[in-house]
Amino acid sequence: MKRLTIALGISLLATAASAADLRVGTSADYPPWESVDGSGNIVGFDKDVGDEICKRIGATCKWQNQAYDGLLPGLQIGKFDLVISGISINEERSKKVDFSAAYADAPNSIVVAAGGKAASDKTADDLTKTLAKAAIGVQTGTTHEQVVRAHFPDADVRVYDRPDQIADDLLAGRIDAGLMERSAWEPLVKERGADKLVYAGPLLTSADFAEFGKGQGVAMGKGKTELKGKIDMVVGAMLKDGTIKIISEKWFGYDVSKK
């Protein structure tokens, strides 16, 4: 009976939104969340999740690739209708845009060069002490930048457009550490050598640094109540029926769906 109710609700929802055309902004430089394949197509976890959301609300979605730090400003001026790009929900962002219910909750990691500062640290407190005055790389406009500025106030914060630039500067010795989501680090560490780049400290979440937020959600303009309601409904259904878990395991090899 519950399955029938959910299916009926989604069917009605799709009918009501059948004429919708939505522009979806993403920053396709953050695999496996989103990237561009050899044919120039946007692919990844967020792309699959977003396509399924669009399907279930009956919308035609057109994806646009945009530098990460321009996503939310673009949303605010009406360039996009939605942003789906591993955007973490936090208080600062929620003042500017609205978010759907969280669909994922990904852990984060600090990576250093093998033998470098913090390589043997065990806790978040250890990291903040060891890297207090270090040069730390982060992607611009991310919660990682917010965390470093808030909790490493004497650090030399270096901001980058792309994750691979952080990994390369670590190898070159231009920075001491980099902070990103663990899933974004994994392919970079593998490609450059696990004997050259190593994880420092534990997996980091909002329990360690509140700036990491409340999971990843779909961002939309303020006051889009009807659209938010539709997306919240299908996100809830996708979490309940295991769709996001399946997509997660396809791209990450483990489950990052919001619990």
The full set of domain ranges for the chain reads: 2-105+216-251, 108-212
Q: The domain at 2-105+216-251 falls in which architecture?
A: 3-Layer(aba) Sandwich (3.40)
Average pLDDT over the chain, rounded to an integer: 91
Whether 81 contacts 230, CB under 8 Å = no
Query: What's the distance, Cα to Cα, between the start and end of the chain in Å?
Result: 23
Quick check: pTM over 0.75?
no
116-126 b/e with 16+ CB inside 10 Å = b? bbbbebeebee
Q: What is the pLDDT of residue 16?
A: 40
Give 155-211 pLDDT, tens digit per residue: 999 999 999 999 999 999 999 999 999 988 999 999 999 999 999 999 898 889 999
Domain 108-212 fold? D-Maltodextrin-Binding Protein; domain 2 (3.40.190)
Whether the per-residue pLDDT at 95 is higher than 90: the answer is yes
Interacting residues of 173 by C-beta distance below 8 A, sequence separation 6+: 113
The pair of structure tokens assigned to 61 is 């979605």
Whether 108 contacts 234, CB under 8 Å = no
Interacting residues of 135 by C-beta distance below 8 A, sequence separation 6+: 155, 156, 158, 174, 175, 176, 177
Interacting residues of 11 by C-beta distance below 8 A, sequence separation 6+: none
Whether the per-residue pLDDT at 113 is higher than 70: the answer is yes
Question: Is-same-fold flag (2-105+216-251; 108-212)?
Answer: yes
Whether 182 contacts 142, CB under 8 Å = no
Q: What is the pLDDT of residue 10?
A: 43
The span from the CA of 31 to the CA of 239, in Å, is: 22
Give 141-169 pLDDT, tens digit per residue: 899 999 999 999 999 999 999 999 999 99
Give residue for tokens 């303009």.
Answer: 221
The span from the CA of 237 to the CA of 164, in Å, is: 35
